[in-house]
Amino acid sequence: MPLPSSDRPDVTARLREALLAADFTADGLLELLGAPAYTALARSETVPALRATRGDGAQASLVRLFLLQHPVPYARVADVLPVDVLLESGWLVRAEDGAGGTGELRATVDVRPYGGPDGEDWFIVSDLGCAVGGAGGIGSRDEGVVLGVGGASTTLAGITVRKPVASALDVGTGSGIQALHAARHATRVTATDLNPRALHCTRLTLALSGAPEADLREGSLYEPLGDATYDLIVSNPPFVISPGARLTYRDGGMGGDDLCRSIVQEAGERLNEGGYAQFLANWQHVEGEEWTERVRSWVPRDCDAWIVQREVQDVTQYAELWLRDAGDHRTDPAEYAARYDAWLDEFEARKTRGVGFGWITLRKSGATEPSVTVEEWTHPVEQPLGETVQAFFARQDYLREHDDAALLAEHFKLAGGVVQEQIGLPGAEDPEHVVLRQHRGMRRATQVDTVGAGFAGVCDGTLSAGRILDAIAQLMGEDAVLLRDRTPAQIRLLVEQGFLEPVGQ
Ligand SMILES: C[S@@+](CC[C@H](N)C(=O)[O-])C[C@H]1O[C@@H](n2cnc3c(N)ncnc32)[C@H](O)[C@@H]1O
């Protein structure tokens, strides 16, 4: 299906105006459809929304047209939209066959209302039937199909550091969602994609959302950028590890996790000093190799890194996930079996036992000894995490600047919302474990010993860490020197993970 013209800003502006006038917004949809139908739509289930839009209203017509991709009678569309110019510029077409009936119109793209972080009314333009991958898989199996916003897109948007910057780069922009977010806090936004159709959708998304134009470049990864460098790089790349490239939106066309490795490794040269690069990625868990070492080896020189593995799937779960994503489970069973088999062959050849999914953040610090943290945290977190990410790197700087002696002279306070949990057998006098738990951000939990728990409990910024340890030593009848010797590692961890905050930082 040809895409609407991106050279008619006048038409895009009129369409935006009409959509807003009809309250075709994220909030408006929630009100019209109700939460169950609204969230079902986000799972690609359309029946509840079809039932909720049986009436004649303007919003109902727009939902049927742009989200459910049903034909709508000309007269009903004309009540809401400037039909003739939208037909002329390719946003709408006349329904061709008897199924649609004469005098009915269809949309050529999915236009999905999306609420920005400050309540902005944005619209994401993508291919029909592909706005989300749901239980039935995507609606098209064309190689160059452009997907809308999915869980991965919003995860990356949520973890991105949102400080004001001069330049931002979105690699593999797709429908343009990351570029749209970046336009709020970056003076210049550049977006690349291998797929020209994706760049076209991005141009429409930005224009229809009322955002400034971006510098759009066609080509692979950083290749179309010359030697330009950026303050922020984001990418939700085609990270799927598959037996062969089929769908551009997810299969990068390189073997195994090579595409993720390349995009991370090459980011070092593309970042300005102090800049962040943030990626979603998949990595192989290879027999006889620590996954942590594999991803650690991707970190470029001069960069600090924080890598979080959020999930691991075995090879069968992984193959099934992506077979379903493409709708392969709805094809001929023999074809499905052959594809599944090919996927497992590929993993076997690469000695891959599982696949990790996670977040990679780099910060170009230029430090002689960069700090690289690779960890697994699979529990729920509180998005958005952009500020948490920035604070993590600030704490790394702090810890790098303070050796153990300096740390003991510092004052700390317990971060807000941290609670202590005692775990042990019911009725037991003493807990077996003491756990500190955060209720914000990463929502971390960490086990501490009695000294750690006591220390954290006293930290209100009044006494230095060393003085607190001396008091604890006296209470417990321990040698104060030994305690001062063995505790800084625990304090370091509590600071690194955000349980303790240095006073005055
Ligand atoms: C998973 S989609 C992400 C889309 C969007 N940025 C988001 O967050 O929803 C990956 C995008 O990367 C593009 N792509 C695939 N191979 C690429 C390559 N080698 N270089 C640049 N982009 C590529 C695809 O066309 C697709 O638009």
Whole-angstrom Cα distance, residue 69 to residue 62? 9
Q: Ligand 1: which residue has its CA nearest to atom 9? A: 153
Q: Find tokens 């609204």 and name the residue.
A: 38
Q: How far is the centre of ligand 1, averaged over its atoms, from the C-alpha of 154 (Å)?
A: 14
Q: Ligand 1: which residue has its CA nearest to atom 16? A: 252
Q: Find tokens 């600047």 and name the residue.
A: 401
Helix residue ranges, H only, 191-309 = 196-208, 258-265, 267-270, 291-296
Whole-angstrom Cα distance, residue 64 to residue 282? 36
Strand-strand pairing, 419-423 and 230-235: unpaired
Q: What are phi and psi of 82, to 5 degrees?
A: -75, 80
For the Cβ of 155 lying below 6 angstroms from any atom of ligand 1, the answer is no
Residue 344 is classified by DSSP as H
Whole-angstrom Cα distance, residue 105 to residue 94? 4
Whole-angstrom Cα distance, residue 467 to residue 481? 11
Give the H/E segment covering residue 115: strand 110-115
Whether the model clears a pTM of 0.85, i.e. scores above it, the answer is: yes
Atom of ligand 1 at shortest range from CA of 234: 6
Question: Cβ-count burial of 480 within 10 angstroms (0-12 exposed, 13-18 middle, 19+ buried)?
Answer: middle
User: Among 124, 126, 195, which is best to mutate for testing ligand 1, by the most ligand atoms less than 8 A from CB?
Assistant: 195
Q: How far, in Å, are 164, 298, 393, 423, 453 from residue 432 at the CA level?
A: 47, 39, 33, 6, 13
What contacts 24+ positions apart, CB below 8 Å, involve 218-222? 218/192, 218/193, 218/194, 219/192, 219/194, 220/194, 221/171, 221/192, 221/259, 221/262, 221/263, 221/266, 222/171, 222/192, 222/263, 222/266, 222/270
Cβ neighbors of 156 (< 8 A, separation 6 or more) are: 178, 234, 235, 236, 278, 279, 280, 359
For the Cβ of 252 lying below 6 angstroms from any atom of ligand 1, the answer is yes
Rounded (5°) CA angle 126-154-382: 165
Delineate the domains of the chain, giving CATH numbers in brackets.
Answer: 9-108 (no CATH), 239-246+280-394 (no CATH), 402-502 (3.90.930.60)
Q: Ligand 1: which residue has its CA nearest to atom 19? A: 220
User: Per-residue confidence of the chain (505 residues) as pLDDT tens digits?
Assistant: 899 999 999 999 999 999 999 999 999 999 999 999 999 988 888 899 999 999 889 999 999 999 998 999 999 999 999 999 999 999 999 987 544 445 899 999 999 999 999 999 999 999 987 654 444 555 566 778 898 998 999 999 999 999 999 999 999 999 999 999 999 999 999 999 999 999 999 999 999 999 999 999 999 999 999 999 999 999 999 999 999 867 888 887 888 999 999 999 999 999 999 999 999 999 999 999 999 999 999 999 999 999 999 999 999 999 999 999 888 888 899 999 999 999 999 999 999 999 999 999 999 998 889 999 999 999 999 999 999 999 999 999 999 999 999 999 999 999 999 999 999 999 888 888 899 999 999 999 999 999 999 999 999 999 999 999 999 999 999 999 999 999 999 999 999 999 999 997 6
